[in-house]
Amino acid sequence: MSNYKLDTICVQGGYKPENGEARTLPIYQSTTYKYDSADHLGDLFDLKADGHMYSRISNPTLACVEAKIAEMEGGVGAMLVSSGQAANLTAVLNITSAGQNIISLASIYGGTVNLFAVTLKKMGIEVRFATPDMTDEEIEAMMDENTRLLFGETVANPALVVFDIERYAKLAHKHDMPLVVDNTFATPVLCRPFEYGCDIVTHSTTKYMDGHATVVGGCIVDSGKFDWSVGGRYPELTTPDESYHGVVYTESFGPAAYVTKARVQMLRDMGNTMSPMAAFLLNLGLETLHLRVKRHCENAQRIAEWLSQNDKVAWVNYSGLPDNPYHALAQKYMPGGSCGVISFGLVGGRSAAELNTGLANLIQSGLNRLFGAGQSILGILVCHLVELAGALFRLGHDLAGLFLGRIEHLAVGNLGAGLQLCLTHHALHISFRILHELLAGSQQLLRTLDFHGDLCAQFIQQIQHLIALQNALLCTKRQTPGILNHFI
Ligand SMILES: Cc1ncc(COP(=O)(O)O)c(C=O)c1O
């Protein structure tokens, strides 16, 4: 572990080329590795030697990125996986079996709620959901001898609840269990949960860490600080693993017991591996993370302040605003800003916010690039719950959300331009069938938010241009069947 600042780790961490070696992290696009003797390979299989034997379990490109993320978070080891979902699933399954349970804050990403409430349930694991307003005693009353861990998100997606890491770490440790924190929104640039007592961190690297909307990925980081032998509660780590030649993870791997088990047992058996190419792209994203995240936060802060002064806006949810209920917690855990996502509601509620499916579809395609660095504001959406069910259903009320993904400095006056850019970049992913609806909806949206003038006109023109494009493509389609399949 180095003493470098995080900015330096983002650029220099992980890959350390020797004299004459490639300056940029190489992509080891190989499933297997060559060894001179069967004994050497045997030692690798027996976990007696360091090295790579099969890329389902480990790979040199991934290893460098894992080392970088571990260093960024201040952990003893990290493991990349194929997605954020895989990270949370693996983090839980590594120490939880059928018949046991975990406690999770309810205000977390909707996909994780599904994973916990539906899929884990089918696997015989019960997830007990706590709310942020519950007292310690109320949460303790949900625990029993089969409770394995406590889970929360540093900043919840999309409810933007800030997780009181120190409080929940104390609560978990009082009952000899680890605290697992999904640090996707904050990233280690804004918050390093291990410094507040968290034991395991997970990430959807798909978002800010990648930052270019190129690869889906996830990561688990082990703080190395949790004592797995305490009270004999975690025999899977402290007694022989018969599926791995009787290895006892805490004895053989000390502080890295959890992450080693996750790799050699979970990754080996479930195979939710990240590819070397994906790890390479993720590494490129990590190199600029420290710059991008700061800018995301500055932009979000400005927009949140602007929205909160707009009389068409009923409420703005962003912890950077002094009157936000999570402002104090955000200041404590993320003094440099909490994330680039804001949510807000319009005066008039659902009916004022209601838009056609066209705009919602536009935003849904924008959501794919939600945290992309190169785009302008990725989407401004005013929609109701059903239209964005997958992404936003946890909010439970009418929602207007603004997603910021701009790397350059954002002035509030650019908002309309942002919308226009959003259209330009994502238009081809929109079903052309809804363009006319989109036009009407956008006009309504811009009226509601009081956008006037050139930008507004350009925005509308852009949609009209797309309608013309649609017509042109429809003509082409007659000659080239299938050309529109990608778009419709
Ligand atoms: C906080 C959080 N955790 C996990 C996930 C799931 O990540 P992925 O989409 O990479 O599977 C997401 C996705 O949005 C998320 O926001």
Which atom from ligand 1 is nearest to the alpha carbon of 85? 11
φ/ψ (deg, to 5) at 342: -125, 150
Q: Which amino acid is at 156?
A: A
Across the beta sheet with 147-153, the strand order is 77-81, 218-222, 200-204, 179-182, 147-153, 101-105, 126-130
Q: What is the mean pLDDT of residues 391-402?
A: 30
What pLDDT was estimated at residue 392? 28
Which atom of ligand 1 sits closest to the CA of residue 370? 14
Q: Which tops the pLDDT comparison, 438 or 120?
A: 120
Record the tokens describing residue 435, joined without a space. 């363009």
Quick one: pLDDT at residue 488? 22
Q: By CB neighbour count within 10 A (0-12 exposed, 13-18 middle, 19+ buried), where does 40 fall?
A: middle
pLDDT digits 0-9 by tens, 197-210: 999 999 999 999 99
Q: In which element (H, E) is residue 64 found?
A: helix 60-73
Mean pLDDT over 304-329 rounds to 90
Residue 341: both structure tokens together: 């996502």
Looking at residue 456, its pLDDT comes to: 53
CATH topology of domain 6-278: Aspartate Aminotransferase; domain 2 (3.40.640)
Predicted pLDDT of residue 306: 83
151: helix, strand or coil: strand
Question: Residue 312: pLDDT above 70?
Answer: yes
Residue nearest atom 8 of ligand 1, based on CA coordinates: 84
- Angle among Cα 426, 108, 233 to the nearest 5 degrees reads 140
Shortest-distance atom of ligand 1 to CA 153: 1
Distance 373 CA to ligand 1 centre (A): 17
pLDDT by residue (tens digit) across 130-162? Answer: 999 999 999 999 999 999 999 999 999 888 999
* pLDDT tens-digit map of 44-78: 888 888 899 999 999 999 999 999 999 999 999 99
Confidence of residue 213 (pLDDT cuts 50, 70, 90): confident
Closest of 362, 388, 369 to residue 442, by C-alpha: 362
Cβ contacts of 376 within 8 Å, gap of 6 or more: 405, 406, 410, 414, 417, 418, 421, 422, 425
Q: Which residue, judged by its Cα, is nearest atom 15 of ligand 1? A: 109
Atom of ligand 1 nearest to the CA of 206: 10
Q: How far is the CA of 226 from the centre of ligand 1 (A)?
A: 25
Asked if the model's pLDDT at residue 367 lies above 80, the reply is: no
- pLDDT: is 157 or 429 the higher one? 157
Model confidence band, residue 350 (pLDDT cutoffs 50, 70, 90): low
- Where in 388-437 does DSSP place strands (E)? 399-403
Mutation pick for ligand 1 pocket among 109, 210, 394 (CB with most ligand atoms within 8 Å): 109
Task: State mean pLDDT over 179-206.
Answer: 98
**Number of Cβ atoms within 10 Å of the Cβ of 112:** 26
Task: Write out residues with Cβ below 6 Å of ligand 1.
Answer: 83-85, 109, 111-112, 153, 157, 182, 184-185, 204, 206, 216, 218
Which pair of structure tokens corresponds to residue 207?
A: 């978002």
- Whether residue 447 is predicted with pLDDT greater than 70 in this model: the reply is no
Q: What pTM was estimated for this model as a whole?
A: 0.79
Index of the ligand 1 atom closest to the CA of residue 391: 14
Expressed in angstroms and rounded, the spacing between residue 217 Cα and the centre of ligand 1 is 9
pLDDT of residue 443: 57
- CA 111, chain centre distance (Å): 11
Tokens found for residue 241: 């693993």
What is the DSSP secondary structure assignment for residue 256, as one 8-state letter? G
Which residue type is seen at 485? N
Task: Specify the residue with its C-alpha closest to ligand 1, atom 14.
Answer: 109
Instruction: Please provide the distance, in angstroms rounded to a whole number, between the alpha carbons at the two ends of the chain.
Output: 50
- Taking CA atoms only, the protein residue closest to ligand 1 atom 10 is 84
- Which residue in 242, 229, 192 sits closest to 9, CA to CA? 192
Q: Give the distance (Å) from ligand 1 centre to CA of residue 185.
A: 9
How far is 163 from 132, CA to CA, in rounded Å?
8
> How far, in Å, is the centroid of ligand 1 from the Cα of 207?
8
- 177: β partners: none
pLDDT at 415 over 70: no
Closest ligand 1 atom to 108 CA: 1
Separation of CA 52 and ligand 1 centre (Å): 28
Q: How confident is the model at residue 414 (pLDDT cuts 50, 70, 90)?
A: very low
CA of 263 to the centre of ligand 1 (A): 20
Domains in the chain: boundaries: 6-278, 348-479
User: Which residues is 126 bridged to in the sheet?
Assistant: 101
Whole-number Cα distances in Å, 422 to 9, 244, 339, 415? 32, 50, 20, 10
395 CA to centre of ligand 1 in angstroms: 16
Pick 74 or 411 by higher pLDDT. Answer: 74
Alpha helices in 221-343 (DSSP H): 235-238, 249-253, 257-261, 268-270, 276-308, 327-333
The answer to whether the beta carbons of residues 438 and 356 sit under 8 Å apart is yes
Average of per-residue pLDDT across 406-410: 30
Tokens of 46: 């027996």
Q: Write down the mean pLDDT value for the chain.
A: 79
pLDDT of residue 69: 98
CA distance 288 to 369: 17
Distance CA 141, CA 271 (A): 36
How many whole angstroms from 109 Cα to the centroid of ligand 1?
7
CA–CA distance, 387 with 403 (Å, rounded to integer): 16
Amino acid at 406: R
Closest CA to 305 of 295, 320, 292: 320
Residue to mutate, 82, 105, 204, ligand 1, most ligand atoms under 8 Å from C-beta = 204
pLDDT at 454 over 80: no
Q: Is the predicted pLDDT of residue 428 greater than 60, yes or no?
A: no
Mean pLDDT of 381-385: 28
For residues 240-248, average pLDDT: 94
Q: Determine the Cα–Cα distance for residues 353 and 355; give it in Å rounded to an integer.
A: 6
Q: How far apart are CA 452 and CA 205, in angstroms?
A: 38
Strand 313-317, strand 341-346: pairing: antiparallel
Would you state the pLDDT for residue 376? 28
| Residue predicted with more confidence, 157 or 449 | 157
**pLDDT (average), residues 375-400:** 29
Task: Measure 114 CA to ligand 1 centroid, in angstroms.
Answer: 12
SS3 of residue 130 by DSSP: strand
Using pLDDT thresholds of 50, 70 and 90, give the confidence band for residue 164.
very high
Maximum CA pair distance of the chain? 74
Residue nearest to atom 6 of ligand 1 (CA): 84
**Residue 183 CA to ligand 1 centre (angstroms):** 10
The share of the chain scoring above pLDDT 90, in percent, equals 59
Of residues 158 and 446, more confidence is placed in: 158
